Structure 1
């Protein structure tokens, strides 16, 4: 991501993995991301993230909720 660091609480796409996450912080030259519905954080280089569009954010949220619903049905 060129320009300023993504802000904490913002939503970005990890271009290496394609995952969308919420920015939790910055440490050791990395951006710390967490999945939209919570879970284990991961680190990514700041030059490998970009802000998501409104359409991408909606799509990622729907996918996360669908995944959660599928897990609930099998439990």
Structure 2
């Protein structure tokens, strides 16, 4: 029997975002980070306040909701004013 080529059986890769795009990694407890690039099958994300990058599965990444984006931007501004990031 031939394999069906329906949307339910097909898994499409999400489109790669632009560098610096804020994303939420649902595979890591909704951690918010900036997109830094592609590393094999994973996407590299960096915390908005600086720190070590981590790898996220593209299927577990989504764009932030308005409140998540606001919290990330405020955290970045606070870290910058405290001298923790440039």
Q: When the two structures are superposed, what TM-score results if normalisation uses the length of structure 2?
A: 0.65
Structure 1 regions of 5+ residues with no counterpart? 69-75
Aligned length: 68
Is 1:22 paired with 2:34?
A: yes
Q: 1:55: Cα distance to partner?
A: 2.1
Residues 1:8 and 2:57 are matched in the alignment = no
* TM superposition outliers: structure 1 runs of 4+ over 4 Å: 63-66
Structure 1 length as normaliser, TM-score?
0.73
The root-mean-square deviation of aligned C-alpha atoms, in Å, is 2.2
* Structure richer in strand, relative to its length: 1
Gaps of 5+ in 2: 1-12, 80-86
| Larger RCO (CA within 8 A; separation ≥ 6) | 1
- Looking at secondary structure, tell me which structure has more helix per residue: 1
Greater Rg over alpha carbons, structure: 2
1:46 is matched with: 58
Aligned pairs (5 A) from 1:50-69:
50-63=62-75
Partners of 1:63 and 1:53 in 2: CA distance? 16
